[in-house]
Structure 1
Amino acid sequence: MGLPEVWNLLCRFNSFKRTNIILQHLRMSKHTDAAEEVLLERRGCAGVITLNRPKFLNALNLNMIRLIYPQLKKWEQDPETFLIIIKGAGGKAFCSGGDIKVLSDARNTNQKVTQDLFREEYTLNNAIGSCQKPYVAFIHGITMGGGVGLSVHGQFRVATEKSLFAMPETAIGLFPDVGGGYFLPRLQGKLGYFLALTGFRLKGRDVYRAGIATHFVDSEKLGMLEDNLLALKSPSKENISDVLDAYHTKSKIDQDKPFILEEHMDKINSLFSANTVEQIIENLQQDGSSFALEQLKVINKMSPTSLKITLRQLIEGSSKTLQEVFVMEYRLSQACMF
């Protein structure tokens, strides 16, 4: 073997070695990233959960659920932890929903993943709803689907002018789950039915006015609010509420603007009060106003099956407990997957 051949062989060996080292690093970083998709910290008097996938708008996956749930349970039992704060990294989203890619991949290949994901997500949502410690969610930025499940069942939900809430599931062949069957029919009038069927987006202070958030705070004050909460000494639920109320009262952004759906609430209450999707569609057609026709256009783009499931889910859920709703939604989720 001549010198050029030996040289080539060495180069190929080095390149193989390099590739292996790079792959090893990637595997390690993937493993590290998995652990850092959620940051769980004890700070001051609180346990702080930070959803840490800003590039993916903090979309929720099974790994994140499995990190949050046991820690939430530990903090709930810990006498030194007086409240739990959950927030999203990156400023654009609290949590844009469940990781759809993981779901669609699993839908085709692995039924167990979809069973585990929905079961464990709903178990976490239920734990938030029954949490014995005050639970404060900063729903700053995009908050949809799975992000709603991580926030809306908690005691305190803080919106900002950059909040964007929606439950867009009827457009993708699903239904507004994560306890949507519980909280949506309990919003004012038929607002929840309207939001669920049309996927209508609420922004800023309207997230508070609709009853999704309990408080509204200027986004630039969010860091200060968090610091004030963390600095409390052995706070009661009332102490925490007082701090949130003070920030809410000081916020002037869009204070004088009416709720975006205010002028349409009478129509929403009458048009969306039917027990069948067909009747709602007929109501919208007969009404004929520009608002009704706009909603008709939106509903016609949705999955017809999803619309029917969603309406039934909300009607049934209106008289169920949160836990009963999760049992119902788990069964529905599995039926929708296959």
Structure 2
Amino acid sequence: MTDDIRIETADGIGTVTLDRPKALNALTLPMIRAMAPALAAWEADPAIRAVIVKGAGERAFCAGGDVRAIWEAGRNGRDGSPDHPTRAFFREEYQLNRQIHRYSKPYVALLDGITMGGGVGLSVHGSHRIVTEKTMFAMPETAIGLFPDVGATWFLTRCPDGIGTYLALTGARLKGADVLAADTGAHFVPSAAIPALEAAIRAGTPVDDAVAAHRADPGPGTLAPHLDTIRRCFAHGTIEDILEALSRDGSDFARETRDGLLHRSPTSLRVVLEQMQRGRGLSIEDALVMEYRLVQACMDGHDFFEGIRAVLVDKDHAPKWQPASLDEVGPDLVARHFARPAEGDLSF
């Protein structure tokens, strides 16, 4: 057990509190290993009506997986052990994502703050995703030489209006109303009403009724004025065509989006677009199997470790990607990311 997560049962409700507020509740392997069996036990217990998952502190639900710990474990190479952190973390995280996706009881995730990467995986697969005005939602992996994982292949390919490909490539940050527009959050509840929502569920109100009673209008989002640009530009089948379409658009939004893409890992951009194209229509299981292949290829590569160095370790925000340009990222390199890893595929 770990002190970084609280597992509590009361009033017919199982509650998971991610309790690393100083680290924005970043997810660790011990936290995963505490959460998965608790969810299984609650699912089998007829006395448990629902599960609530939330983050401690005022700032975050969960800012993602503890990728710095993965960087520490893998930056000097790795052995072939299946228990190496670069394998065990992602394997068990993805298995937990699938467990949440298939969960048979109401699963209420309170996204009342920063929700990125691994935090999205703990929330978006649940039956009741609650966003607030404090929600900041993002899949920022291309900035660190990675790709949107935790089942993003499944949920981003189902976003309307090209939003999924836009989010996958750019790592754009969404607020509450935009999360609803992207169909990655199910309900908007004001942050101040979250305690009352929890209390109603604990008092025995059915989850759907409790959410309906506290739901509110999130107001206008920031994405709506740009949906035509997103839909038009991100429908293209190559990164070069997307960049060209953004150049032709001419708007400030398109220019800023294009500039942002040019700072991302070129390998990540090509791999992620291929991921979105291959991922359409996959089951959650097949999506996660593909993502495990991708992440193991990234662990054997350069850009993830360079991206973490630049963003989280040295914080110079000047990664030296290898290859350094899109022209140098050929189809063979992309294809290798989708190959079955030597230790075998993810299983459930």
TM tier, smaller: 0.7 to 0.9
Residue 202 of structure 1 pairs with residue 174 of structure 2: yes
Residue 130 of structure 1 pairs with residue 102 of structure 2: yes
- Whole-Å Cα distance in 2 between the matches of residues 245 and 303 of structure 1? 42
Residue 78 of structure 1 pairs with residue 45 of structure 2: yes
Q: Tell me the matched-pair count.
A: 295
- Whole-Å Cα distance in 2 between the matches of residues 287 and 95 of structure 1? 35
With normalisation by structure 1, the TM-score equals 0.85
Corresponding residue for residue 57 of structure 2: 90
Deviation (angstroms), 1:191:
0.5
Root mean square deviation of aligned Cα: 1.3
The equivalent position to 1:141 in structure 2, one of 81, 98, 113, is 113
Residue 60 of structure 1 pairs with residue 22 of structure 2: no
Residue 287 of structure 1 pairs with residue 230 of structure 2: no
Residue 226 of structure 1 pairs with residue 198 of structure 2: yes
Deviation (angstroms), 1:315:
1.3
With normalisation by structure 2, the TM-score equals 0.82
Larger Rg: 1
Deviation (angstroms), 1:267:
1.4
Percent identity between the two aligned chains: 47
Deviation (angstroms), 1:205:
2.8
Deviation (angstroms), 1:176:
0.6
Deviation (angstroms), 1:209:
2.9
- Whole-Å Cα distance in 2 between the matches of residues 95 and 63 of structure 1? 15
For the 8 Å contact 2:25–2:55, the answer to whether it is kept is yes
Deviation (angstroms), 1:313:
0.9
What secondary structure sits across from 1:35 in the alignment?
Answer: coil
Deviation (angstroms), 1:278:
1.4
- Whole-Å Cα distance in 2 between the matches of residues 222 and 86 of structure 1? 12
- Whole-Å Cα distance in 1 between the matches of residues 228 and 278 of structure 2? 23
Note the 1:102-181 alignment, pairs <5 A.
102-109=69-76, 110=78, 112-181=84-153
The equivalent position to 1:259 in structure 2, one of 196, 201, 221, is 221
- Whole-Å Cα distance in 1 between the matches of residues 137 and 48 of structure 2? 29
- Whole-Å Cα distance in 2 between the matches of residues 269 and 154 of structure 1? 27
Deviation (angstroms), 1:61:
0.5
- Whole-Å Cα distance in 2 between the matches of residues 75 and 92 of structure 1? 28
- Whole-Å Cα distance in 2 between the matches of residues 224 and 59 of structure 1? 26
Deviation (angstroms), 1:275:
1.4
For the 8 Å contact 1:45–1:231, the answer to whether it is kept is no
- Whole-Å Cα distance in 2 between the matches of residues 146 and 319 of structure 1? 22
- Whole-Å Cα distance in 1 between the matches of residues 96 and 69 of structure 2? 19
- Give the helix-richer structure, 1 or 2: 1
| Amino acid in the other structure paired with 2:203 | A
| Amino acid in the other structure paired with 1:160 | T
| Amino acid in the other structure paired with 1:67 | A
For the 8 Å contact 2:243–2:258, the answer to whether it is kept is yes
- Whole-Å Cα distance in 2 between the matches of residues 74 and 329 of structure 1? 27
Deviation (angstroms), 1:226:
0.5
Corresponding residue for residue 211 of structure 2: 244
| Amino acid in the other structure paired with 2:36 | Y
- Whole-Å Cα distance in 2 between the matches of residues 209 and 91 of structure 1? 25
User: Unaligned stretches of 5+ in structure 1?
Assistant: 1-33
| Amino acid in the other structure paired with 1:240 | V
User: Unaligned stretches of 5+ in structure 2?
Assistant: 301-348
For the 8 Å contact 1:137–1:154, the answer to whether it is kept is yes
| Amino acid in the other structure paired with 1:241 | D
